[in-house]
Structure 1
């Protein structure tokens, strides 16, 4: 029997192994009931992980939207000329 809810990736690995063992259990059997419970636990864990990813992407996007207004943009020509200068010095040595 798998401990639910699934709280971490170790629990997830155990639940997936048990899911594979039970897959195809006859309908109405105790194994089919356990399979359904594990399936619901897997779905809940997946939803929790997806929500965390969405939150992180939202906040990362918010930072990207804010940074150009609050931080100076690098001068691309200065970076390019600096790299050319470094490249020429490396070739001459």
Structure 2
């Protein structure tokens, strides 16, 4: 019983194998470079996005206190000195 390559002479068989493996190597190489390119682009996009988020988190000119409320820029900020919490006179 002949296998799938039974009718192909040995010389042609080895040629075919060489050509097929070379094509496979080329395909793997292009696939590898494509995936590397994709990974590099993805990393660059991620870095850029993180940088933008960082800039948006700390917009220039607005000083934020730890509670996330806007600071009006006064040197002794009222909230830090308990002005708003002082009991009013009856």
TM-score by length of 2: 0.47
Higher fraction of helix:
1
Name which structure has the greater RCO, CA cutoff 8 Å, separation 6+: 1
TM-score by length of 1: 0.46
